[in-house]
């Protein structure tokens, strides 16, 4: 149940409806917008929400979705249900083009697995490609009946052309004769009047040309004569045109009779088109107000983060003003949020935002909240806001307010959401506050959910002392003397009446006298209330900062743990390799010694031969010594040697040097250097290489890409298959890092310029690992989070050199 009847006007939903209708492509979608209504059926709402969410992705990601020719031909189809009725050319042309659009939409969803809810909507829809082909055989691309639509029509139009050509020749002959006799001017040409070709002449010469005077100009200075020689031919033209119309009607009637049995299925296809037009309009509106699909659950809950009133957002956007988002959470059942605070502090906006967004959600619309928000379903929404006084019905403001309360007490229950503005206002404060407290107690007993705004202290005290009702305050900056439009849940708010009175310049003696009348204790209590709100804001800020630091520590701890495990694994690999190398070395040494001894024995101690054998042994010893140094490097020292060796090699190259890859013939040029990495260009290809992979080249300048075309096919093939984003969600840290390293290398080589890395949010560990690498990766100019509308912190955008 929705109460009152003008709920949409009070919350602004009627304007939302108009904005959505403006995005529709045809009356088909506009009718669905008019029929959009509140629902409490969870499955129905979920289907609508997911359909709209999927279409927002189509708008952002797809370019091939057909949106042309959304025509409403339902009246024409209903008309031809009657025997003898037929479709005229325009109606048939509109059907042909709109059926082509339906065929394109159905084909789009059938060939895409990314939009399951829209795919389900398209299932069972017939797009009638055979019917489209039949229409093409009748109509040309301009929507006119073809000459070859039937043999009879082709013959009639052939006779028409021949007769018209004969008339034209005869008239030209008569006109030339008249011009030679100066009966008509030289620049005069035959004119069509009432479907017949005629010659314009001056009234003085109308008797000089034999024929029928059909008309004269408005000024009376020209008469139009149909020469006697072409009267019969013009009559024949008229007869042929009548035959042509009859034949066209016959062709259209025959076709209409053929499709009459298919009218129900064709109308079903247009219902699908209406649904798509409606869903598309909702999706476009969602993008206009940055609306999303939050977590939607079959429960009674409001847990909104950064909720924004859509109409307020659009209004402020035109003025380049920011909108302060609201965080709103109703605690466990029963849950009534009692909001207090200064006038013009945003209480009514909060109430309208709550009512409008919940109504939008349950009408199948996406809402502008943060993706972390959680939403639910209510059976009823009751609203009491604004002035409902009526002279005709003898109702005052307070009387209308009480009538609303009476209905809410009767109808509201555990699945209802009640929204009441200025609770208890409009009458004498003491009795108004008492009645309001009694009503609040009843609503709490009934287990209603609700958001209620008030200034009454007795209600704030009730909320503080009763479970099920919680205080909330709209914050106010006492130093700047302006509202912050932020909701703080847990403490009541002050009305800041004294501060606002001082701000607008009310005399100080008036303020002092008012303070004495209400008592210093009341003023002090209000001040303490303000201090509590201020302190709560301070400690909440501190808590958020501590949580942020704790999260950073957790991420660093996870990163160090991962690095330690990686080092331990590498250490084991190095030791195993060193052991294998040592065993191999020992085996080779033993074999060499045995060969040496055998050689000396076989040489029978000849001096020169022994020297030669000893020299071979010394050579092997030097070789072993060198490999031993390498082996020690594997255990620890060698890492340093290896690093210094790389630096020494890297020092031999500088920017601008001509180089080539070892084992390759293509000559390139060093573009930039970082540590022992270089970005080198080989023709049209840029690549990242280590120093030890390069060798200097002496001589002429490196060939241009045109003179060295060999890499071009590789580049073009690579570019063809290269994508501007990589998805590493679900991968382990090391696996994802390896994939990103190869991907960035390819991106630099293909001059990608800008790429995206999809790593998700999760704990943030994967994002941290990738960004640590990007800080040191050669070729990376800059990286940042994607815009929140397109993924936010779950996607890193990388700008390349």
**Distances from the Cα of 545 to the Cαs of 487, 549, 552, 601, 762, in angstroms?**
19, 6, 11, 83, 19
Among residues 287, 296, 308, the alpha carbon closest in space to that of 117 is found at 296
Q: Which residues contact 73 (CB under 8 A, 6 or more apart)?
A: 91, 94, 95, 98, 270
Residue-level pLDDT at 705 = 43
Residue-level pLDDT at 711 = 44
Residue-level pLDDT at 382 = 95
Confidence of residue 620 (pLDDT cuts 50, 70, 90): low
- What is the token pair recorded at 710? 């060999």
Q: How many CB atoms lie within 10 A of CB 607?
A: 8
Residue-level pLDDT at 7 = 92
Q: Which residues contact 719 (CB under 8 A, 6 or more apart)?
A: 750
387: left (phi over 0), alpha (psi -120 to 50) or beta: beta
Residue-level pLDDT at 663 = 62
Stretch 139-166: mean pLDDT: 91
First to last CA, the chain: 60
**Distances from the Cα of 46 to the Cαs of 38, 306, 366, in angstroms?**
13, 22, 11
| φ, ψ at 326 (rounded to 5°) | -115, 140
Per-residue pLDDT of 408-434, as tens digits, reads: 999 999 999 999 998 888 777 888 889
Residue-level pLDDT at 534 = 62
Residue-level pLDDT at 234 = 82
CA 262-268-274 angle, 5° bins:
140
Most confident residue range from 66-75, 331-340, 742-751 = 66-75
Among residues 660, 671, 649, the alpha carbon closest in space to that of 749 is found at 671
Question: Which range, of 328-337, 348-357, 426-435, 726-735, averages the lowest pLDDT?
Answer: 328-337
Are the CB atoms for 657 and 702 separated by under 8 Å?
no
Residue in the block written with tokens 């619309």: 365
In the predicted structure, residue 159 carries a pLDDT above the cut 60: yes
pTM for this predicted structure: 0.62
Question: Which range, of 208-222, 340-354, 399-413, 609-623, averages the lowest pLDDT?
Answer: 609-623
In the predicted structure, residue 377 carries a pLDDT above the cut 60: yes
β-pairing, 725-727 with 191-193?
unpaired
Stretch 12-24: mean pLDDT: 95
Question: Which range, of 69-73, 130-134, 282-286, 387-391, averages the lowest pLDDT?
Answer: 387-391
In the predicted structure, residue 631 carries a pLDDT above the cut 50: no
604: left (phi over 0), alpha (psi -120 to 50) or beta: left
Stretch 670-687: mean pLDDT: 73
**Distances from the Cα of 223 to the Cαs of 170, 228, 713, 778, in angstroms?**
19, 15, 76, 88
CA dist., res. 159 & res. 272, Å (int): 45
In the predicted structure, residue 654 carries a pLDDT above the cut 50: yes
Residue-level pLDDT at 204 = 74
Higher pLDDT, 391 or 43: 43
Residue-level pLDDT at 661 = 75
- DSSP string computed for 739-762: HHHHHHHHHHHTT--EEEEE---T
CA 659-660-665 angle, 5° bins:
140
Residue-level pLDDT at 50 = 96
Higher pLDDT, 591 or 335: 335
In the predicted structure, residue 156 carries a pLDDT above the cut 70: yes
Please count the helices (runs of H) and the strands (runs of E) in the chain. 24, 24
Sign of CA dihedral 167, 169, 170, 175: positive
Per-residue pLDDT of 520-577, as tens digits, reads: 666 555 565 656 666 666 677 777 788 888 888 888 888 888 888 888 888 888 888 8
| φ, ψ at 500 (rounded to 5°) | -65, -35
Among residues 694, 692, 670, the alpha carbon closest in space to that of 681 is found at 670
Per-residue pLDDT of 566-617, as tens digits, reads: 888 888 888 888 888 877 777 777 677 767 666 666 655 555 666 666 666 6
Confidence of residue 45 (pLDDT cuts 50, 70, 90): very high
Give the CB-side neighbour count of residue 458, counting CA atoms within 13 A.
15
Among residues 134, 94, 155, 146, the alpha carbon closest in space to that of 255 is found at 134
In the predicted structure, residue 633 carries a pLDDT above the cut 50: no
Among residues 686, 695, 689, the alpha carbon closest in space to that of 714 is found at 686
Confidence of residue 282 (pLDDT cuts 50, 70, 90): very high
**Distances from the Cα of 617 to the Cαs of 25, 39, 408, 588, 590, in angstroms?**
91, 93, 105, 12, 11
Question: Which range, of 157-161, 348-352, 536-540, averages the lowest pLDDT?
Answer: 536-540
Confidence of residue 197 (pLDDT cuts 50, 70, 90): confident
In the predicted structure, residue 149 carries a pLDDT above the cut 70: yes
**Distances from the Cα of 799 to the Cαs of 87, 671, 782, in angstroms?**
58, 17, 5
Are the CB atoms for 408 and 381 separated by under 8 Å?
no
Confidence of residue 712 (pLDDT cuts 50, 70, 90): very low
Q: How many CB atoms lie within 10 A of CB 415?
A: 14
In the predicted structure, residue 439 carries a pLDDT above the cut 60: yes
Give the full edge-to-edge strand order of the sheet including 658-661.
Answer: 685-690, 677-682, 667-674, 658-661, 694-696
Mean pLDDT (the chain) is 82
CA dist., res. 21 & res. 285, Å (int): 10
Question: Which range, of 24-33, 463-472, 513-522, 555-564, averages the lowest pLDDT?
Answer: 513-522
Helix (H, G, I), strand (E, B) or coil at 548: helix
- What is the token pair recorded at 589? 């040494």
Residue-level pLDDT at 636 = 46
Are the CB atoms for 326 and 353 separated by under 8 Å?
yes
Stretch 44-55: mean pLDDT: 95
Per-residue pLDDT of 213-243, as tens digits, reads: 777 777 777 888 888 778 888 888 889 989 9
Residue-level pLDDT at 635 = 43
Are the CB atoms for 743 and 770 separated by under 8 Å?
no
Beta-bridge partners for 383: 419
Stretch 681-709: mean pLDDT: 63
CA dist., res. 624 & res. 640, Å (int): 20
**Three-state SS string across 597-664, please?**
HHHHHHHCCCHHHHHHHHHHHHHHHHHHHHHHHHHHHHHCHHHHHHHHHHHHHHCCCCCCCEEEECCC
Per-residue pLDDT of 231-280, as tens digits, reads: 888 888 889 989 999 999 999 999 999 999 999 999 999 999 999 999 99
Are the CB atoms for 631 and 676 separated by under 8 Å?
no
Are the CB atoms for 74 and 271 separated by under 8 Å?
no
- What is the token pair recorded at 542? 């501190």
Q: Which residues contact 750 (CB under 8 A, 6 or more apart)?
A: 715, 718, 719, 722
Residue-level pLDDT at 757 = 92
CA dist., res. 87 & res. 93, Å (int): 10
């Amino acid at each position: 149940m929705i109460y009152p009847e003008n709920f949409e006007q009070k919350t602004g939903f009627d304007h939302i409806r108009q904005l959505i209708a403006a995005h529709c492509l045809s009356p088909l979608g506009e009718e669905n917008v008019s029929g959009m209504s509140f629902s409490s059926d969870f499955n129905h709402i979920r289907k609508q929400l997911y359909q709209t969410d999927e279409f927002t992705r189509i708008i952002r990601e797809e370019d091939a979705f057909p949106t042309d020719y959304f025509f409403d031909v339902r009246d024409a189809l209903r008309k031809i249900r009657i025997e003898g009725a037929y479709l005229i050319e325009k109606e048939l042309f509109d059907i042909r083009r709109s059926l082509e659009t339906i065929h394109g939409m159905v084909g789009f969803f059938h060939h895409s697995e990314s939009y399951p809810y829209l795919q389900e909507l398209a299932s069972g829809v017939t797009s009638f490609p055979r019917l489209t082909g039949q229409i093409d055989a009748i109509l040309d691309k301009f929507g006119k009946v073809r000459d070859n639509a039937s043999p009879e029509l082709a013959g009639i139009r052939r006779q028409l052309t021949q007769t018209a050509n004969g008339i034209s020749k005869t008239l030209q002959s008569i006109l030339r004769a008249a011009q030679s006799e100066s009966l008509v001017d030289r620049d005069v040409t035959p004119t069509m009047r009432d479907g017949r070709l005629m010659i314009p002449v001056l009234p003085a010469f109308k008797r000089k040309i034999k024929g029928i005077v059909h008309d004269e100009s408005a000024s009376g200075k020209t008469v139009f004569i149909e020469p006697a020689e072409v009267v019969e031919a013009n009559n024949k033209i008229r007869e042929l045109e009548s035959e042509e119309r009859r034949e066209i009607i016959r062709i259209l009637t025959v076709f209409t009779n053929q499709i009459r049995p298919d009218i129900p299925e064709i109308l079903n296809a247009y219902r699908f088109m209406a649904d798509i037009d409606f869903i598309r309009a909702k999706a476009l509106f969602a993008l206009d107000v940055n609306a999303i699909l939050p977590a939607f659950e079959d429960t009674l809950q409001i847990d909104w983060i950064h909720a924004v009133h859509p109409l307020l957002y659009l209004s402020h956007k035109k003025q380049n003003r920011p909108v302060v988002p609201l965080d709103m959470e109703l605690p466990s059942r029963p849950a009534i949020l009692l909001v207090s605070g200064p006038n013009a502090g945003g209480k009514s906006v909060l109430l309208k935002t709550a009512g409008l967004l919940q109504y939008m959600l349950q009408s199948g619309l996406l809402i502008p909240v943060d993706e972390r928000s959680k939403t639910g379903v209510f059976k009823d929404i009751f609203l009491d806001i604004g002035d409902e006084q009526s002279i005709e019905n003898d109702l005052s403001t307070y009387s209308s307010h009480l009538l609303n309360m009476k209905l809410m007490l009767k109808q509201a229950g555990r699945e209802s959401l009640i929204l009441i503005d200025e609770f208890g206002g409009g009458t004498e404060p003491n009795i108004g506050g008492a009645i309001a407290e009694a009503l609040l107690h009843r609503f709490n007993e009934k287990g209603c959910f609700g958001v209620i705004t008030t200034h009454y202290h007795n209600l704030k005290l009730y909320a503080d002392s009763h479970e099920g009702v919680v205080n909330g305050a709209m914050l106010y900056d006492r130093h700047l003397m302006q509202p912050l439009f932020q909701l703080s849940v847990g403490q009541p708010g002050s009305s800041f009446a004294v501060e606002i009175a001082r701000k607008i310049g009310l005399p100080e003696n008036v303020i002092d006298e008012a303070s004495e009348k209400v008592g210093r204790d009341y003023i002090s209590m209000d001040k303490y209330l303000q201090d509590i709100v201020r302190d709560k804001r301070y400690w909440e800020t501190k808590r958020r900062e501590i949580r942020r630091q704790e999260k950073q520590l957790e991420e660093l701890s996870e990163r160090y743990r991962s690095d330690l495990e990686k080092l331990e694994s590498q250490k084991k690999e190095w030791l195993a390799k060193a052991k294998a190398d040592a065993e191999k070395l020992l085996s080779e040494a033993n074999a060499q010694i045995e060969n040496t001894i055998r050689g000396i024995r076989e040489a029978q101690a000849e001096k020169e031969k022994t020297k030669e054998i000893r020299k071979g042994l010394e050579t092997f010893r030097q070789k072993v010594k060198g490999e031993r140094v390498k082996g020690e490097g594997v255990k620890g020292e060698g890492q340093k040697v290896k690093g210094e060796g790389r630096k020494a090699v890297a020092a031999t190259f500088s920017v601008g040097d001509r180089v080539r890859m070892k084992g390759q013939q293509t000559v390139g040029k060093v573009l930039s250097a970082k540590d022992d990495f270089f970005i080198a260009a080989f023709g049209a290809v840029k690549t990242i290489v280590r120093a030890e992979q390069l060798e200097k080249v002496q001589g002429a300048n490196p060939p241009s890409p045109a003179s060295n075309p060999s890499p071009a096919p590789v580049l073009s093939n690579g570019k063809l298959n290269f994508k501007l984003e990589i998805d590493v969600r679900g991968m382990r840290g090391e696996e994802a890092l390896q994939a990103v390293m190869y991907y960035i290398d390819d991106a630099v080589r293909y001059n990608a310029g800008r790429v995206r890395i999809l790593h998700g949010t999760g704990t943030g560990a994967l994002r941290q690992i990738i960004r640590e690498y990007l800080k040191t990766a050669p070729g990376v100019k800059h990286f940042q989070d994607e815009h929140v509308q397109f993924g936010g912190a779950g996607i890193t955008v990388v700008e390349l050199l």
